[in-house]
Homo-oligomer: A and B are copies of this chain.
Amino acid sequence: MSRYFVTGGAGFIGSNLVDRLLANGHFVTAYDNFSTGRRPFIELALAAPNFKLIEGDTLDLSALAGAIKGHDMVFHLAANADVRFGADHPRRDLEQNTIATHNVLEAMRTTGVKRIAFSSTGSVYGEPDVFPTPEGCSFPVQTSLYAASKLACEGMISAYSAAFGFRAVIFRFVSILGERYSHGHVFDFYRQLSADPTQIHVLGDGLQRKSYLYVQDCIDGILTAIDCAEQPVNLFNLGAEEYCKVNDSLDWICAKLGVDPKRHYAGGSRGWIGDSPFIFLDTARIRALGWRAKLSIRKGVERTVDYLRKNAWLFSEHRIVQRS
């Protein structure tokens, strides 16, 4: 039995990870400020004797250090994950990703916790030349504030590993789908089609090529990697062995919902500033450890639609996200 600390433990990926770790018999502390985390996501966990919830902010270093103390490993998943709106709030990614991650590292260093797993992003590859893109591709140029902030986190985590003997596993994720998914293109499309099944507005030209991964496959990958990681810094791409066009995904969603909306395209090859028109990661490194994605992207999209259908509350909430 290990003692795991999960920042963002009430979030989409975090809460799924918490449930899995609890099911595997571990002690788990979730640390979340509920800015995007949701209480219903941890209902199951709250009933478990080995689970502890701490409501707190990663920007509060002393609270964080007090909470982290005594754990064997930190899964640092708390982040601003609003990739699209970086340019509208240019300091948010710096604060909630870069500075927050520095706090996590400092909290670990000062309390003697040395193992960390971190959720980075395939967006750190910017607009690469090689597909599928391997971890050791050419030194990339950043195209979004979100990815730049995650790259900054990767760099600090690696430097802490060199300076303080940390052992780190860094995951570069594609977009994740599945139960508790609550932002992203499937969410946007589903919401639009629920309001008006005859019309849909698509960012970009619909030809953007993206890879996605089902959340349970993602968690299988995380747990596979942390068991096998031997280096001070272990980097893994995590994504499906396929990609689809935004239009394909829209086709699947429409088929699932039995609708045939008129499609309106905003145009351009990018959905927003900093959007990468093609994301497809080479996952040979983690597949060499025995992992592979079990669910196809189409099945992942369909399960996400099923989940959204059953969880109308996600759309009825008009949440105002604020930080003190």
Contact = CB atoms under 8 A, between A and B. Distances in A.
Q: Binding site of A, secondary structure by majority: helix, strand, loop or mixed?
A: helix
A102 interface: yes
A148 B138 contact: no
A222 to B, nearest CB: 20
A94 B159 contact: no
A255 interface: no
Interface string A143-168: 11101110110111011101110000
A204 to B, nearest CB: 15
Range for the number of chain A residues in contact with chain B: 35 or more
Contact of A144 (B125, B142, B154, B162): B162
A300 to B, nearest CB: 27
B156 A94 contact: yes
Given A94-B102, A99-B99, A148-B152, A86 B159 contact: yes
A198 B318 CA distance: 75
A137 B148 CA distance: 18
A39 interface: no
23 contacts: A87-B163, A90-B160, A91-B102, A94-B99, A98-B98, A99-B99, A126-B158, A136-B138, A138-B139, A139-B139, A141-B233, A142-B156, A142-B158, A142-B162, A143-B159, A145-B160, A148-B152, A148-B156, A151-B151, A151-B155, A152-B152, A162-B273, A163-B274
